[in-house]
């Protein structure tokens, strides 16, 4: 079921991306010949009006075929639909059509990030905080979430206890750790020695406030005395405006990190080892789905964001290449030849192909062990 939901999520991202192109193309009066999820050969076709809807056999993306996407096609276009071809439309209309796909993916990421921030999903907020450490989506909590076996806490604390005070003062994560570590062993601070005096706590357990006294133990690795438990965390409350702002911040951080990492991967073998293909991305997404809806939505949102950003790279046949082509025509007042655009795009495409092959190699190496 997790695999099914994962594949469904990725397919939806592709469909919505292409749907953005499709709807704006129709709105601007262009003739759409085909709307395809995945690449040919087609395994399923259905024609409605002038548009053929298809599902391809190669699950590496999708496309919308608009009549007259290049000047060469115009020679063979029926004169009755010539004014509805892509290349006969004004540059701003072409830019709107091409930009619509990536913007849909970016909008999906924004909505999913904001929705998780406004939800009660702690794991979802933790996932977003890991994606962008500057997003304070999680606050420390004085609730006990783990107890170390063999440590003093194992005899006096229970999971779910809320630490209220330490040495008579209200407890925070930092103040509790500081006050506990002030308790020292009577003699030399050696591994396992118990503090000379106990630390006094009050905890809330099952609705009751309970006083507890316990002697901390010195651990050489930590270089201080400990009771032996871990504090938890709680999700920060976000209103609509705060969630929107934090979502934009996280998207910007993720985008800059992704672009920077891809740039470094071109020259650094260490960075290239971190790349993944669609196989690895699918596996990670499946793990996120299995972890619950909060984490799954953040991961799917991130995949959508990356899909949108990479499609904006200014190389044909990516969306960014078509946008650059139309902008160049608008600024120059005349069209740029297709040959010139492909020459410009060739270096970028080779680099992207190199990164894609590296990601595939990494996933194959990991799978075969």
Catalytic center residues: 18
What tokens appear for 64 in the block? 């919308």
| Interatomic CA distance for residues 157 and 163, integer angstroms | 10
Give the closest residue to 230 by CA, choosing from 167, 169, 183, 161: 161
117 and 243 Cβ atoms separated by less than 8 Å: yes
CB atoms within 10 A of CB 333: 6
Strands (E), the chain: 32-48, 51-66, 138-147, 162-166, 169-170, 199-205, 208-214, 217-219, 224-226, 229-235
What tokens appear for 221 in the block? 């690795």
25 and 64 Cβ atoms separated by less than 8 Å: yes
């Amino acid at each position: 079921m997790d695999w099914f939901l994962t594949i469904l999520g990725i397919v939806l991202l592709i469909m919505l991306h292409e749907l953005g192109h499709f709807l704006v193309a129709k709105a601007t009066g262009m003739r759409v010949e085909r709307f395809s999820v995945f690449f040919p050969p087609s395994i399923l076709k259905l024609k409605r009006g002038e548009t053929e809807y298809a599902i391809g056999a190669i699950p590496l993306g999708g496309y919308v075929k608009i009549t007259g996407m290049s000047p060469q096609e115009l020679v063979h276009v029926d004169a009755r639909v010539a004014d509805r071809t892509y290349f006969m439309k004004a540059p701003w209309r072409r830019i709107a059509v091409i930009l619509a796909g990536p913007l849909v993916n970016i909008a999906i990421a924004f909505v999913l990030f904001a929705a998780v921030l406004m939800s009660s999903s702690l794991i979802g907020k933790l996932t977003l905080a890991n994606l962008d450490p500057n997003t304070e989506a999680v606050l420390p909590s004085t609730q006990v979430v783990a107890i170390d076996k063999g440590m003093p806490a194992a005899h006096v604390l229970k999971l779910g206890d809320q630490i209220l005070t330490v040495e008579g003062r209200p407890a925070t994560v930092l103040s509790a750790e500081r006050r506990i570590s002030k308790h020292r062993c009577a003699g030399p601070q050696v591994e396992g020695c118990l503090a000379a005096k106990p630390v006094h706590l009050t905890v809330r357990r099952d609705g009751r406030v309970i006083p507890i006294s316990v002697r901390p133990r010195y651990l050489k690795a930590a270089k201080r005395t400990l009771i032996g438990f871990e504090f938890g965390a709680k999700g920060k409350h976000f209103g609509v405006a705060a969630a929107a702002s934090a979502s934009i911040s996280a998207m910007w951080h993720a985008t800059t990190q992704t672009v920077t990492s891809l740039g470094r991967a071109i020259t650094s073998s260490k960075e290239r080892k971190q790349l993944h293909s669609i196989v690895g991305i699918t596996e990670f997404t499946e793990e996120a789905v299995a972890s619950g809806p909060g984490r799954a939505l953040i991961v799917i949102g991130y995949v959508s964001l990356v899909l949108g950003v990479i499609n904006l790279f200014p190389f044909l046949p990516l969306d960014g290449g078509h946008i650059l082509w139309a902008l160049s025509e608008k600024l120059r007042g005349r069209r740029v030849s297709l040959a010139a655009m492909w020459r410009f795009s060739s270096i970028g495409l080779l680099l992207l192909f190199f990164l894609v092959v590296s990601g595939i190699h990494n996933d194959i190496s990991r799978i075969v062990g």
